[in-house]
Amino acid sequence: MANIREIAKLSGVSKATVSRILNHDKTFSVSDSTRKRVFRISSQLNYTLSNTSNKDSVEKLHVAIVNCLSPEQELRDPYFSMIKNGIDEQAEIWGMKIALEIRLPNTGHDWSELATCGAVIVIGTLMESVLDKIYQHNQNIIIINDPRHFEKYDIIRNDFGYQTQQVLDLMKAKGHKRIAFIGGKTNLIDESSVSQILLMDNREKAYLEWMKLNNFSEFTDPHITKGWTTEEALSVTQDILAEEKQPTAILTASDPQAIGVYRAVQKAGYQIPDDIAIVSFDDINMVSYLYPALTTVRPAAQEMGREAINLVRERVVDSRKVALQVTVNSILIKRESL
């Protein structure tokens, strides 16, 4: 049940102001717009002065998360950890509570619990059948990090496709055309299993399109690993270096993969970037220990999480029904590996 503190946060005024407005204090001077905003938000949150309501009513300031990553995967990947941090921080600012988290694939969860929350944030790539099931219980759905288009759901995504093109343009400007790409697979997640259906990562897609548009098709060399690990990237790079015609540049989809590439390239006696240039995505803390320093794309992952809560607020407070697609821009951090 909403309280005065929560209404105050969402209205952008003090608790005392909310209290005096809701109690129709005639001695209190406040603008008509503020008064109307407080009444509108309190009404939308089903607030009453007695602070009682039907026990089965939806708690609009409660948020549910449906997460496609295990706790271990989330801890290993700073990108998703930062998204969760952003969600938590912004939820606290707006007086919202993460009341429920369902991790998939899993069995035994009760989808009807989602109906008790104001909105559902999905992190990752779910089968459409699962999204439909969530929608049956809660129509306020915000999806983070899914490249697909949906008409009913809000989508928050990064700009990795655009950044891939920018990086490749820089490589071309430095004379590179024999450019290899190392990425990973993205599986759709079902309720109880990891589907065999794959989504092409935006970085891989942008790489293939860019190589074709720049008439470098004969040099196109993508390598997609089962996971996104350092060990897999190291093994793949060793295979690449064993080829008769080696690339002069390697673009990796993540910094952990770039670390594997560094190990393989330097172990083989090649110099970075003189022999092989390397660029990556993530800008995790560990890359500061690489030599030479890694050029990488830093995503605004925490901002993606914050924006998810902002979209939740628009849904539950402003009653927005039209679905939005939000792209959060990243930053290319230029260092010595290119």
Q: Kindly state the average pLDDT of the residues 327-338.
A: 97
Is residue 56 predicted with pLDDT exceeding 50?
A: no
Residue 254 · residue 184 · CB < 8 Å: yes
Output the CA angle 113-196-65, nearest 5 degrees: 25
DSSP 189-244: E-SSSEEEEEE--HHHHHHHHHHHHTT-GGG-EEEEESS--HHHHHHHHHHHHTSS
Residue 252 β-bridge partners: 182
Q: Can you tell me the distance from the alpha carbon of 331 to that of 167, in angstroms, rounded to the nearest whole number?
A: 11
How high is the pLDDT of residue 48?
63
How high is the pLDDT of residue 29?
84
- Using 50, 70 and 90 to split pLDDT, how confident is the model at 50? very low
Is residue 327 predicted with pLDDT exceeding 90?
A: yes
Give per-residue pLDDT as tens, 259-294.
Answer: 999 999 999 999 999 999 999 999 998 887 899 999
Q: Higher model confidence: residue 195 or residue 58?
A: 195
| Sign, Cα dihedral of 242, 222, 197, 162 | positive
Q: Higher model confidence: residue 234 or residue 318?
A: 234
Which domains, from first to last, does the chain contain?
A: 4-44 (no CATH), 59-158+301-329 (3.40.50.2300), 160-298 (3.40.50.2300)
Q: Kindly state the average pLDDT of the residues 74-78.
A: 83
Q: Kindly state the average pLDDT of the residues 55-75.
A: 81
Q: Kindly state the average pLDDT of the residues 180-185.
A: 96
How high is the pLDDT of residue 295?
97
Is residue 52 predicted with pLDDT exceeding 50?
A: no
Q: Among 11-15, 309-313, 316-320, which range has the highest average pLDDT? A: 309-313
Residue of 299, 206, 185, 200 lying closest to 251 (CA atoms): 206
How high is the pLDDT of residue 73?
84
What is residue 98's DSSP assignment?
E
Q: Which of 1-5, 32-36, 280-284, 320-324 has the lowest mean pLDDT?
A: 1-5
Residue 119 · residue 204 · CB < 8 Å: no
Helix (H) or strand (E) holding 162: helix 160-173
Q: Kindly state the average pLDDT of the residues 88-107.
A: 91
Q: Can you tell me the distance from the alpha carbon of 271 to that of 202, in angstroms, rounded to the nearest whole number?
A: 29
Residue 300 · residue 335 · CB < 8 Å: no
Count CA within 13 A, CB hemisphere, residue 84.
20
Is residue 144 predicted with pLDDT exceeding 90?
A: yes
Give per-residue pLDDT as tens, 193-237.
Answer: 999 999 999 999 999 999 999 999 999 999 999 989 999 999 999
How high is the pLDDT of residue 107?
78
Q: Kindly state the average pLDDT of the residues 22-50.
A: 78
- What Rg, from alpha-carbon coordinates, does the chain have? 24
Q: What average pLDDT does the chain have?
A: 91
Give per-residue pLDDT as tens, 120-131.
Answer: 999 999 999 999
- Using 50, 70 and 90 to split pLDDT, how confident is the model at 55? very low
How high is the pLDDT of residue 49?
56
Residue 123 · residue 153 · CB < 8 Å: no
Strand boundaries in 84-205, DSSP class E: 97-103, 117-123, 141-144, 154-158, 179-184, 186-189, 194-199
How high is the pLDDT of residue 54?
38
Q: Kindly state the average pLDDT of the residues 171-192.
A: 96
Residue of 129, 209, 195 lying closest to 165 (CA atoms): 209
How high is the pLDDT of residue 17?
85
Place of tokens 């589907």: 195
How high is the pLDDT of residue 21?
84
- Using 50, 70 and 90 to split pLDDT, how confident is the model at 302? very high
Q: Can you tell me the distance from the alpha carbon of 189 to that of 42, in angstroms, rounded to the nearest whole number?
A: 38
Is residue 57 predicted with pLDDT exceeding 70?
A: no
